[in-house]
Structure 1
Amino acid sequence: MGKSKTNKFRRPQFNAEGLSVTAVKEVEEDHDEVCDGVDSPAGELLEKLQSPSADVREFACASISRLVQQSQTIPGFLQRDAVRRLGPLLLDRSLAVRETATGALRNLSACGGHEVCEDMVKQDVMTPLTALLRECCAGFETNDALSLKGQKNTVEDVANEAVNLLWNLCESSSQALSMFNKAGILDVILQCLERHTHNIKLALSAAHCLHTVTEDNAELLCSMNNAVLGTLESVLLSSQADMAHTLLRTLAAGSVWNLKSSLPTARQAQTLNALMATLSQCLELDAGTLIPQLRQAEVARSATASEAGNMEDHQAAAGNMAVEEMDEEEGVEPRTNGKATKIDKDFSDLLPRGKEELREATALLTAQQTSLEIIVNMCCSDDPSDDEWEEASSSDESEMCPDGLSEGNTSLLSPLCLSAEVHGALINHNIPEKVLKKTQFPSSEAMDVCRHNPTWKMLMKKMHRVQYRALTCLHNMLSTMDAESLGGAAALQAVAQHLSTLVFSAPDIPKEEEFLEAVTSAMRSLLQIIAYMKIPQCMTPQQLMSLSEAATCCDVVSVRVNALAILGITGSTLAKEKRTAETLQMIGSALLQVATKDANLVVCGEALDALFDVFADGDEAERAAENINLLSALKALQPVFKAKVIELQPITRNSLYAFFMQHTVVICLIAVSCPLLYVLCLQIRKEGKGKYSPEQLCVLDNIKVNLRRFIGYLETVVKK
C-alpha cells in the first residue's frame, strides 16, 4: 500500500547465566538434588538466603541463578517474594554473595521476560542495584591494587553482573529507564566503559547497556556533555584489532548515533566520520574466512594442551550444551508498525574459559549484525504519531498520497531526504557495496565448520542473521537513497540479478520467515526504483508469481504484503507493454484470490491496492480485467471490505462530532464538551487499535475510498 516501509531495529534483550566461577562447580554437583521438585527447592533456597554463613548464601544464590533458567520454575520463586529477598544481598558484606545474588536477578530478568522485569522494578530492585553500581565504581582503584597482588578481580565481576541486570531492566521496563535517567546512573556506566583497557568484558557489558538506554530517550539527552561524547569518541578511536574491541567500537558507534542530536555542531562532521569508519571497518571483515581460521587455531591449541586443559575442555563442552539448548529458543516477536522487536539472546558470557576463539567468532558476528542494524536505523524514517494519522484519516474523501500521508507531511529522513552529511558518509565509506556483499548466503566452509562442532553450532544462526540484517539494510538504502548514489542503472540491474540468485537459484524458494521478510522487502524497493527508471530487470513474472505463492503460505503478514506489492509493481509495468494480457490475467486472479480470502485485512488491502495499480490503464489491462470478471468480483467484495474497515475505524473527536452533526446540534455540543463522553470515545479508540496500527487503519480507510472510485472507473470502461 504505497511506499514500502523502512524497518527500524531495537536492541536485543540480553540473556546469560551470571554464575560466579567458584559457584558453578557446587551448583553442578547439587543440581539433580535441587531439581527434584519445583516448589520445595524454591522455598528452601530462599530460606538459605538468610543464613549467617556467606558460603551458604552464595550457594543459594548460585542455585537460584541456575534454576530460573528453566521458565517453569520462575513463578514459584516470584510467588515467594524472591526479588525482595535477593535485593538486599546486592549489598551483602561478602563480595561473592553480591556477585551471585546479582547474577540470580540477572537471570530472572533475562529468562522471565518483560512482565517479570516490570515486576522487579515495581519491587524496587533499582534502589539496591544503583547503590551497588556506585560502590563498585568507587572500588575500582582498590580493585586494581588487589589485582596486582594476584587476587581475584571481584569488584569488576560484581559490576559486570550489575550492569547486565541494569541492561535487562532498562530494555524491558520504561519505568526502569526513567529511574536510570533520574538517578544519574549514566556516569557509572561510563566509568565501566572506560575500563576497556583493563577489562574488556565489563566494558562490553557497559557498551551494550549504553546502546540500549540511549535509544529514543529524549530525557537522557539533557545529561549529555562533552565528557560523555569524549568517552565514546575515545572508544571509537581505539586501535585494538581483536573482535571484542571491534564489537566495543561498534556499540559505541550505535550510542553516538542515538545521541546525534546532542552533538556540538563543530564536532558533527568529525564524529560522523569516525562513526562511519567504525561500521565500515567492521563490515570489511570476512566471517567466512575468519571463522574457519579461528576454529583451526582452537584445534591447534587443544592439540598441545595439557591433560588438565583437556579435562577443562571436557567440562566446557558440557557447559556449552546448555548454551546450545537455549540458543535454539531464539526467535522474533510479532512485528508492529514495520519495526522488529527481537529476542536475540547473546550467550558470550556463558562461554567457559578455554573458548577464546569461539568468543572471538561470536563477537565478530554480533558486531557485524549490530553495524547493519545501526545503518538500518540511519536510513529509517520515524513513524508519524497517532495524532498525525488521526488528522489524516478524519475524512473519507481527503486526497492523500499512495501511502496515506498528506502531501505536506514529510519527515527529515523520508525517502530521498537523507541528510547530506549522512548520505555523503555512506557513499564515501562504500557502505552500500559492503552491505550488498553481506547479503550473500553464509560461506559454506564456515557453515560446515560450525555444523560439525557442537559448541560452534550456535554460530550458524548468527551468520544467517547477519545476512537477514544486510538484506533489510539494503531495503532501507534503496528506499532512502537515489539511484545514482547506488551506482545507476547498471548497478541496480546487478542487484536485481543478485536477489534473483538468492531467491530462485535453489529448486525451492527458501521458507525461513526472517529471510523471506528481508529479501521480499529488498526486492519490493528495488522493483519500485527499476519500474520508475524503466530499467529492464531479470526476474520474470513467472518467477515472481512463484515467490508470491510461497509467500502466501507464510504466517508473517509483512511477507505476504511485500509479495503482493511486488506483483502490483510487476503488473503495472507489464500493463504498458504489448501482448501481456495473459500474464496480467494470471496476476489479477492471484491478487483477487488473496483480497477475497486472506484473514488479515491489511493483506486484503494490499491485494486491492495492487489490483488498482495493475488494472489502472491500458488496452492489455482492460482485456485481462474483462477475462477475469474483475468488475463483478470487486462489486461483490466492496460491501464486505467496507463493513470490515468501518468496524475497525477508531472513534475520534472529529468523527464523533461529524456523526452527531447528522442528528442534532445539541447532542453534538454535549459530545464535544462532556469529558466523560470523550473519555469513553478514547477508550473505544484504544480498543480499535488492538489488531491494526493507526497507520494501517488510515491506509485501509483510503483503500476503501479508492475501491469505490476504481469500481466507477471500471464501469466507465465497460460502457465504452
Structure 2
Amino acid sequence: MGKSRTKRFKRPQFSPTGSCQAEAAAAANGAGEEEDDGPVAEFLEKLQHPSAEVRECACAGLARLVQQSPALPGLARRDAVRRLGPLLLDSSLAVRETAAGALRNLSACGGFEVCDDMVTKDIMTPLVALLKECSAGLDSNEMSPQEKKDQNRNATENIANEAVNVLWNICECSSRAVSIFNKEGCLEIVLKYLSRFSTNVDLAISVAYCLQTVTEDNPDLLKSFSATALHVLESAMVCPASSMEYILLKTLVAGTIWNLKDVIPSKSQAEIINAILKILSEVLEMDAVEVVVQMKEAETQRLKTAAETEDILHNANGDDLMEDEEMEEIPHKRKARKKTFISDLLPPTDKELRETIALLTAQQTALEIIVNMCCSEDPSDDEWEDLSSSDESDAFLETSFSESGGQLLSPLCLSHEIHTALTNFFIPKKVFEKTASPSSIAVDICSRHPPWKPLIRKMNTIQCRALVGLQSLVSLLDVDHLGGAPVLQTLALHLSQLLFAQPDFVKNADFLEAISSALRALLQTMASKSIPQCMTPDQLMSFCKASIHSSNVGVRVNVVSILGITGSVLAKEDGTLETLQTSKLRHKDWIRCRHILLNKTAL
C-alpha cells in the first residue's frame, strides 16, 4: 500500500438556518414523492426571483436537495451550477451564503465527476471573485472590539467559510481547479482567512483543510510561499490548544507544513520535522474513549441544566404568561409575550459533539500524515485501482511474486531526521495503541444516542489508519527501535486476535486491506530477523480462503505475499512436512490457494 490520501472522506455540509430551514427540510423530505426533478425545477426557477428572501430559500432548498443522490441528475440536466454561480455575488449577503452552501453540498456529495463538471462550467470565476470580495470586506472591517461583532462582519466570515469549503472540495477532485488556484493568487486570500484563527476557528479549519489539499504535489504553488506566508502557518501551528477544534487546526496545519518541506531551508528541516511530530504525538496521546465519556456527560448535564432553567422560568411567569391559543380565545386582552426558553438560545450544533468529532478527526489526520511521511515509491492507492482488470492484476502479481520470492514490496527508506523524530516522540508505540478495536464503553455510549452514532464509524476509521501506519513503521524502523523481538511477537499475536475476533472481517473491505497490509509487513520483518511467527497454518489457510474472492487487489497482493513469507519460513524449519500434513496445508493446497488469489476465480 502506498500513501494514505485524504481524498473523498465524508465532508461537513451546509445546513440552512433561519426562516428557510423549514421550507428546505420539507422540500427535501418530499422530493422522493415528486416525479422526475420537479423540486429541482421549482427551486432553480426561484433563483431568479426579484425577492432576496425567495432566492435565499431556493438556495437553501437546493442545499438540502443535493444531499439526495436521485436529485443529482436533475441538477445536471438543468444546469444548476451555471444558475447558482452568479448568486455567489448576489447583492444579498444571505443569498451569497446559501448559494455557496448549496454548491458546497453539491461538490461534497457529487464526487469527482460533479466537481470536474463544476470547473468546466466555470464555477471558479465567481468563486474566486467572492473570495476576493470577502477578503476586501474583512480588510475594511478592521474596527474596535465592539464593532467586530457587527452582523455584516460575521456574515462575511460565514460566506468566506462556505466559499473555502467549495474551493477545497473542487481542488481535491480537479487538477484544473488547482491550476486556477495557483494562477489567481488564492493562496494569499486563504492565508488571510487563516490568520483569523484566534477569532474564527471554523474558518481557519476550513482553510487548513484546503491548504493541505492544494499544497500536495504542487511545486508551482510551493514557490509562492513567502516568509510571511510561512509565518502565518507557524503561528497557527503553535497556537494554544484551548479546545479540541484548535487541536484539529494545529494538526491540519502540521500536515500542510509537511507538504512544504521542499521549500524549507535544509538547516531548519530537523526543527520543523520535530515540531510536526511533537504535535502528532500529543494528538495521538489523548484518550479518545475518555473524551467521549466526558463530553457525553457534559452534554447530558448541560441539557439537564437547560431544562431546569426552563422550568424555573415557566413557574416564575405562572399565569401571567399566555400562549397564542389562549389569546385567540380572548381577543380583547393584551397579548402576552411568548415564552423564550434557554434551549432556544443554544447553538444548533451541540458543542460537546463538535469537540469529540474534532479530536477523532485530528487523530485520523495525524495517522494519515505519519503514513505520508513514511511512504515510498510503492504503488499508491490510485495505482491499485488502476490494476482493475484481471489480466493486468494477475500479470502484476505473478511477476512480483516470482521475482521477490514471496516478498512483494521492497523495504522502505527514511531520512535520519524523520527516523530520529519518530523514535524520540514514541510514535511507533502510540500508533500501535491506536490499532486496538474501539472501546466497548465508547461504542455503547454512541450507540445509545443517535447524534453520536456516526462516531463509531470514525473510531473504526482511526483503527484502519493506525494499521496502515503500523505497516509503514514496521517496514521502516529497526527491530530495536520497534521494541525488540518480544514486542513484534506481541504485535503479531495482537493482529491475529484482531483479525479472528471479527467473524465477518471479510465484509469490511477497509479493515481487511489495512490489517492484511500490517500482517504482511510484520511477518516479513520477523522472517528477515528469524523471529518465530505467530499464525498457525490453520489460521493462515482460514485467512487466505476468506480473502480469495476479495475484489480489492491490495488485499490479494498482501495475502499472496503472506503465503510466500510463511512458506519460506516453514521450508527452513525441521518437521515442516508433518506440520503441513497435520494442518492439511499440503503443497497442492498451497499452490491452489495462491493460484485462486492470483486469478480471482475458484478452480
Question: TM over 0.5, yes or no?
Answer: yes
1:594 corresponds in structure 2 to 593
Q: 1:595 to 1:487 in 2, by over 3 A?
A: closer
Change (3 A) 1:495 1:429: same
Per-residue deviation, 1:480: 1.8
Given the superposition, is the C-alpha separation of residues 150 and 102 from structure 1 closer, same or farther in structure 2, using an over 3 Å criterion? closer
Question: Do the aligned partners of 2:8 and 2:111 also contact (CA within 8 Å) in 1?
Answer: no
* Correspondence 1:28 to 2:31: no
Indicate the residue corresponding to 2:225 in structure 1. Answer: 224
How do 1:49-128 and structure 2 match up within 5 A? 49-128=47-126
1:272 aligns with 2:267: no
Q: Distance in 1 between matches of 2:403 and 2:195?
A: 47
Answer yes or no: is the 8 Å Cα contact 1:143–1:154 preserved in 2. Answer: no
Other-structure match for 1:357: 352
Cα contact 1:564–1:591 (8 A) shared by 2: no
The C-alpha deviation readout for 1:191-234, integer Å capped at 9, x for no partner, is: 11111101111111111111111111122112122122211111
Contact 2:505 2:512 in 1 (8 A): no
- The amino acid of 2:534's aligned partner reads C
Tell me: CA distance 1:539–1:140, structure 2 relative to 1, closer, same or farther (3 Å). Answer: same
Is the 8 Å Cα contact of residues 511 and 550 (structure 1) preserved in structure 2?
no
Distance (Å, rounded) in 2 between the aligned partners of 1:163 and 1:187: 13
Q: Over residues 295-324 of structure 1, what are the superposed CA-to-partner deviations in whole Å (9 max), with x where a residue is unaligned? A: 1110111111148989xxxxxxxxxxxxxx
Q: Distance in 2 between matches of 1:224 and 1:7?
A: 24
CA spacing shift, 1:295–1:510, aligned 2, 3 Å: farther
5+ residue gaps, structure 1:
311-350, 387-392, 406-410, 608-636, 638-720
**1:336-347 alignment to 2 at 5 Å?**
none
- Residue matched to 1:367: 362
The one-letter amino acid of 1:291's match is: V
Asked if the contact 2:516–2:555 (Cα under 8 Å) also holds between the matched residues in 1, the reply is yes
- Contact conserved, 2:545 with 2:593, CA < 8 A, in 1? no
Residue by residue over 1:318-343, the C-alpha shift from the partner in whole angstroms, topping out at 9 and shown as x without a partner, is: xxxxxxxxxxxxxxxxxxxxxxxxxx
Question: Is the aligned partner of 1:446 residue 2:442?
Answer: yes
Kept in 1: contact 2:367–2:469 (CA 8 A): yes
Question: After the TM superposition, which residues 157-306 of structure 1 pair with which residues of structure 2 at under 5 Å, given as runs?
Answer: 157-306=158-307
Contact 2:2–2:377 (CA<8 Å) still a contact in 1?
Answer: no
1:564 paired to 2:571:
no
Distance apart, 1:369 and its partner CA? 0.5
CA–CA separation in structure 2 for the residues paired with 1:137 and 1:565: 53
TM-score (norm 2): 0.84
What is the alpha-carbon distance in structure 1 between the residues aligned to residue 462 and residue 136 of structure 2? 39
Aligned partner of 1:701 in structure 2 is none
The Cα of 1:510 is off from its aligned counterpart by 6.4
Is 1:579–2:575 an aligned residue pair? Answer: yes
Matches of 2:296 and 2:220 in 1, distance apart? 45
In structure 1, the residue matched to 2:486 is: 490
Q: Check if 1:549 corresponds to 2:549.
A: no
Structure 1 Cα separation of the partners of residues 476 and 515 of structure 2: 17
* Matched ranges for 1:376-391 at <5 A: 376-383=371-378
**Cα displacement (A) at 1:566:** 1.5
- Of 510, 513, 516, the match for 2:512: 516
Amino acid at match of 1:168: N
Name the aligned partner's letter for residue 106 of structure 1.
Answer: R
Aligned partner of residue 481 in structure 2, secondary structure:
coil
Corresponding position of 2:314: none
Q: Distance in 2 between matches of 1:401 and 1:448?
A: 44
User: Is this contact kept in 1: 2:438–2:463, CA < 8 A?
Assistant: yes
Shift, 1:478, TM fit: 1.1
Is the deviation greater in 271-280 or in 577-586? Answer: 577-586
- Output the CA distance in 1 between the equivalents of 2:376 and 2:310: 52
Distance 1:563 1:587, change over 3 A: farther
TM-score by length of 1: 0.71
Q: What letter is aligned with 2:39? A: P
1:296-445 to 2 correspondence within 5 Å? 296-306=297-307, 353-383=348-378, 415-445=411-441
Q: Structure 1 pair 160/308, CA: closer, same or farther in 2 (3 Å)?
A: farther
What is the rounded CA distance, in whole Å, between the counterparts of 2:160 and 2:203 in structure 1? 7
Give the aligned partner of residue 388 of structure 2.
Answer: none
Q: Quick one: structure 1 residues 54 and 34, their matched pair in 2 at CA, closer, same or farther if it must change by over 3 Å?
A: farther
Evaluate the alpha carbon distance shift between residue 177 and residue 590 of structure 1 in structure 2; reply closer, same or farther with a 3 A threshold.
farther
Is this contact kept in 2: 1:7–1:472, CA < 8 A?
A: no
What one-letter code is carried by the residue in structure 2 that aligns with 1:124? D
Inter-partner Cα distance in structure 2 for 1:94 and 1:63:
17
CA contact (8 A) 2:16 2:24 kept: no
Aligned with 1:17: secondary structure?
coil
- Partner Cα separation in structure 2 for residue 527 and residue 7 of structure 1: 21
Q: Measure, in 2, the Cα distance between the counterparts of 1:285 and 1:139.
A: 39
> Structure 1 residues 403 and 253 mapped into 2: Cα distance closer, same or farther (>3 Å)?
farther
Change beyond 3 A, Cα 1:104–1:182: same
SS at match of 2:272: helix
> After superposition, what is the alpha-carbon deviation per residue over 1:455-504, rounded to whole angstroms, capped at 9, x for unaligned?
10000000011011001100011112222221222222222222222223
What is the distance in 2 between the residues matched to 1:546 and 1:401?
24
Task: Spell out, residue by residue over 1:565-592, the C-alpha distance to the aligned partner (whole angstroms, 9 max, x if none).
Answer: 2122112111112221144461533332
Counterpart position of 2:532:
536
Return the letter of the residue paired with 1:237.
V
Contact 1:88 1:128 in 2 (8 A): yes
Secondary structure of residue in 2 paired with 1:9: coil
Using the TM superposition, give the Cα deviation of residue 415 of structure 1 relative to its aligned residue in structure 2, in angstroms: 3.0
Inter-partner Cα distance in structure 1 for 2:561 and 2:213: 34
Summarize the Cα distance change of 1:364–1:384 in structure 2 as closer, same or farther, 3 Å threshold: closer
Q: Pick which of 559-568 and 508-517 moved more.
A: 508-517
In 1: Cα distance, 2:111 partner to 2:502 partner: 38
Structure-to-structure mapping, 1:126-141, within 5 angstroms: 126-141=124-139
Aligned mates of 2:10, 2:491 — CA distance in 1 = 35
Alpha-carbon distance in structure 2 between the residues aligned to 1:441 and 1:384: 28
1:98 Cα offset (Å): 0.4
Does the CA contact (< 8 Å) of 1:415 and 1:481 recur in 2? no
Aligned equivalent of 1:501, options 497, 503, 510: 497
Equivalents in 2 of 1:119, 1:361: separation in Å?
35
Counterpart AA for 2:227: N
Residue identity matched to 1:184? G
**Deviation readout 1:351-373 (Å, 9 max, x if unpaired):** 97241111111111111011001
What is the rounded CA distance, in whole Å, between the counterparts of 1:82 and 1:150 in structure 2?
30
Aligned to 2:44: 46
Q: Which moved more, 1:459-468 or 1:259-268?
A: 259-268
Identity of aligned residues (%): 51
Give the whole-Å Cα distance in 2 for the aligned partners of 1:202 and 1:20: 17
Go from structure 1 to structure 2 and tell me whether the alpha carbon gap of 1:551 and 1:183 turns closer, same or farther (over 3 Å shift). same
Aligned-pair RMSD on alpha carbons?
2.8
Whether the 8 Å CA contact 1:7–1:377 is kept in 2: the answer is yes
Measure the CA separation in 2 of the matches of 1:69 and 1:384.
Answer: 33
Listed as ranges, the matches of 1:670-685 within 5 Å are none
